[in-house]
Amino acid sequence: MFRKFAAVGLVAVSALSVTTTASHAQDFKPSSPECLAPSAPGGGWDFICRTTAQYLREMGLIDGTMQVTNMTGAGGGVAYAHVAKERTDAGNVIVAASNGTTSRLAQGAFPNSTPEDVDWLATFGAEYGAIGVAADSKFETLEDLMNAVKEDPRSVAFSGGSAVGGYDHIKPLLLGKAAGVEDVRQMKYVAFSGGGEAVTALLSDSVQALSGDLSEIRGFVDSGDVKILAVLSPERLKAYPDIPTAIEQGYDVVGPNWRGYYIPKDAPEEARKFWEDSIRAMTENEEFQKMLEGAGIEPFEHFGEDMDQFIASNIAEIEEISREIGIIQ
């Protein structure tokens, strides 16, 4: 999620040919393949499943179609418990995951659950966070904004589409830490039920800044209503090369909302290998990469032991910042 993870995540993964995947697929192919989305249709987890189902089918990596099952509740906790306790050895199912998953695990929001209850499969991309202000804001740069926060943390209210302690809340806190804010718990965050409401609050002058993902803001940026002061990516985004990163402005913060999957912990090894090989082949597909770029999603790939290390580090840093802001003790 953060700076030190991105450096690992953007290292090129060694190529695996579709031929190798196809050969392995002859050994195992899941019957009735299913992707479980821990949210209602239309959300980020649903996007992961439906996109994956489409490309795996079009590439011939699965037989027939993949069922997408939406299982809402407890911010992903219902689906997590279902897979961890009721489908522990299923080889036909993958589950959509993201920063929302690891944030809730880090904060103990999934009762009686731990990160070891599932097998972390892979990530394929990340949508980087952005900090925006209204077009007519007095803040011209990220430095202007963070200097105001440092002088008086309560003077700037950030809106976001996640609850207190969620990803949109954590992003400005990391910037606050990088800026030298003495107590980031004093920073003001106003939670909304979605990115659209958070943008509306910004444009109505209810808040002074917005913490979100680029996909939530890009329409307002294109219309000239919102000005992005920084993207929390390692490098400038191809789609918006004129927007500076936080890093180049002196704030060593990267905030990708990663997209990936987990599978049941006791799934057969041949099933795990099949899914890993198939997802890896999908990420190497040119049309898939074009789709990601068009959606504002950057490559962010982890597989195998690298995935396990990434999840452990991701959870550890979310836990650290969550303790600092008082979400957990």
* CATH code assigned at 225: 3.40.190.10
CA distance 156 to 170: 15
Specify whether 233 is located in the same domain as 168: yes
Choosing from 226, 249, 272, the residue where a domain stops is: 249
Residue 155: count of CB within 10 angstroms of its CB: 12
Containing domain of residue 201, as a range? Answer: 129-249
Q: State pLDDT tens for residues 241-261.
A: 999 999 999 999 988 889 999
Q: Which of 198, 214, 249 is the last residue of a domain?
A: 249
pLDDT (tens digit, 9 = 90+) per residue, 89-110? 999 999 999 998 999 899 998 8
239 with 180, same domain: the answer is yes
Residues 241 and 292 in one domain: no
For 81, residues 6+ apart whose C-beta sits below 8 A from its C-beta are 110, 112, 113
Whether 111 and 143 have beta carbons less than 8 Å apart is answered as: no
Same domain, 203 and 231: yes
Using CA atoms, how far residue 142 sits from 125, 149, 247, 314, in Å, is: 25, 11, 11, 25
The pLDDT, as a whole number, for residue 106 is 94
- What pTM does this model have? 0.75
Residue 329 domain flag: no
Kindly report, residue by residue over 50-73, the tens digit of the pLDDT: 999 999 999 999 999 999 999 988
328: confidence class by pLDDT, cuts 50, 70, 90: confident
Asked whether the predicted pLDDT for residue 113 surpasses 50, the reply is: yes
Work out how many domains the chain is built from and give that number: 2
Q: If pLDDT is split at 50, 70 and 90, which confidence band does 26 have?
A: low
> Same domain for 34 and 114?
yes
Statement to judge: residues 135 and 223 lie in one domain: yes
Same domain assignment for residues 140 and 231: yes
Beta strands in 253-325 (DSSP E): 256-264, 298-303
Same-domain check for residues 84 and 154: no
Are residues 260 and 209 located together in one domain of the fold?
no
Same domain for 7 and 116, yes or no, is: yes
Quick check: 88 and 266 in contact, CB under 8 A? yes
Domain boundary among 249, 284, 301: 249
- Tokens at residue 132, please? 């925006």
Q: Is the pLDDT of residue 36 over 90?
A: yes
Q: Which residues make beta-bridge pairs with 169?
A: none
